[in-house]
Amino acid sequence: MGALDSRSGEILWRHSLGATESVDAFAQEGRTLATVSGGGRYLRVWTSAEGSLLWDAQTGEGAMQEVADVKYVGDVDDDEHEDIAVAVGNSVILFSGAKGKRLWRWQSDDSKLVLSKIVYANAKAGSIKVVGIKGAGASIDTVVEIAIKLGTSKKGAKPLGRSCPSITSMGKYMACLDSSKTLYTWSLDDLSQSSHSLDSLAPGITVDSKVARLDFAAGSDIVLVHLSADACVVVRVTQDKARGEHTFKGIGAGGFVVAIGADKNGDESVVQVAPAKGGGLELTMFSLQTKTTKRETYAASTWSAAEEGGLVALWVQPYVRKEGSLGVRAMLKSKSLKLTFMQQEKIVWERDEALAYVQHAALVDIPVPSPSHNELMDDEHIRLMNPIARLLKRTMTDAADLIEFVTTPPKVSFCVFPSSFW
């Protein structure tokens, strides 16, 4: 795992866990990054900017598991640090985000249960909800609700009421798609279920049940549904309804990719990148706030379907430009494994070496020290300051950093793909 500078593509840091240990899942929150690895056996927390290890802990899972998940859940133990939940095997473990102390462990009585995804976790709401596999096969069919303070479950593992190949979770809802051209959604408050025909979400689009699937990227109440190889509908989910907001269609050869992200104000946009008919790439951004569409074109010399083989994945970070218009930073992965970073109709950088074997990624603005902090790190500058001036300078700088961090928290855009896709 590692971090790249989005301005240059330069490697900021990189760590290898060794040939016998791989990262199963990761979550990013503010200045820290949590990873679960080794088949769900190890939890580590790093600094996002430097990649420094803050602490590590064993989850207590003896055997390696095929799936595991990790999620920041809020401050459960009131120590002003985000605590972290890990789901692995038939257990959920909560760790203190400060130093990795285990707060509790919940374990199902059913040894055959395999928990695969934390779909909801909120310290204020007092609940963690996790889905998994209990029956035969690989379909998700079970949900567990756990009290976040005590680590107890009144009802234990219970049937989901539907077998799902995969689950996509949003802020208040989760969704799955089955082979009958039906989208099923659940409210994460009370797990009430609704069903919606795919044909009703995008009238006039032919649904191909063989390739129809949910995208792993999702918004606060938005799920991306691929209806066919060349059509994807943006669906807004409410308590008992689902409606299509916008439909993206393929343009040229090589397929297309979509992703969703939010700007600093929390306004979400969905972005499509597709090969252009005359060569190169075309980027289309649909704002869910204003319902407007914006397009950017990238010259034929910047990308070729014949050379790159097509498109595989996309990660995006919408932003508000100085004049108030909406822009987007986009990182694209091609079948050739090349990474391409795009912004304002320009290719900012490309990478095509080993680091481009990307399976999980996040684009995030990490808070950095202000220039005044650099002055305080300069020995010569400090020597020329008297103690009172130095104290005032440090106090004013720290206060400015605190105000900046509270008023403009970092925004994260996630897009996660299972390793089986490669």
Please give the Cα distance from 83 to 100 (Å, whole number).
9
Between 420 and 405, residue with greater pLDDT? 405
pLDDT tier at 148, thresholds 50, 70, 90: very high
Residue 373 reports pLDDT greater than 80: no
Reported as a single tens digit per residue, the pLDDT across 50-68 is: 999 999 999 988 778 888 9
Q: Which residue matches tokens 């400060």?
A: 98
Q: pLDDT at position 1, please? A: 86
**For 181-221, what is each residue's pLDDT tens digit?**
889 999 998 889 999 988 888 888 888 888 888 887 788 89
Per-residue pLDDT band for 130 (boundaries 50, 70, 90) equals very high
The CATH H-level superfamily of 1-164 is YVTN repeat-like/Quinoprotein amine dehydrogenase (2.130.10.10)
Structure confidence by residue, pLDDT tens digits, 277-326: 888 999 999 999 999 999 999 999 999 988 998 899 999 999 998 888 89
Instruction: Examine the pLDDT at 251 and tell me if it is beyond 80.
Output: no
- Work out whether the CA dihedral 37, 18, 11, 97 comes out positive or negative: positive
- Contact between 347 and 298 (Cβ < 8 Å): yes
pLDDT class of 416 with cuts at 50, 70, 90: very low
Confidence band (pLDDT; 50, 70, 90) for 382? Answer: low
Q: Quick check: 371 pLDDT over 90?
A: no
Distance separating the N- and C-terminal Cα atoms of the chain: 17
Question: pLDDT-based confidence at 415, cuts 50/70/90?
Answer: very low
Q: Is the dihedral of CA 240, 154, 133, 217 positive or negative?
A: positive
- Give pLDDT, residue 375: 47
Is 70 exceeded by the pLDDT of residue 140?
Answer: yes
Q: What is the largest CA-CA distance in the chain?
A: 75
How many percent of the chain have pLDDT more than 70? 87
Q: What is the mean pLDDT of residues 108-136?
A: 90
Residue 85 has pLDDT above 80, yes or no: yes
| Average of per-residue pLDDT values in the chain | 85
- Rounded to a whole number of angstroms, the CA Rg of the chain reads 23
- This prediction's pTM: 0.80
Taking the C-alpha atoms of residue 347 and residue 355, their distance in angstroms, rounded to an integer, is 18
Any idea where the domains of the chain sit in the sequence?
1-164
* pLDDT level of residue 414 (50, 70, 90 thresholds): very low
Instruction: Summarize pLDDT for 23-47 with one digit per residue, the tens.
Output: 999 999 988 999 999 999 999 999 9
How big is the chain, counted in residues?
Answer: 422
**How much of the chain, in percent, has pLDDT values that exceed 90?**
46
Residue 332: its pLDDT value, please?
93
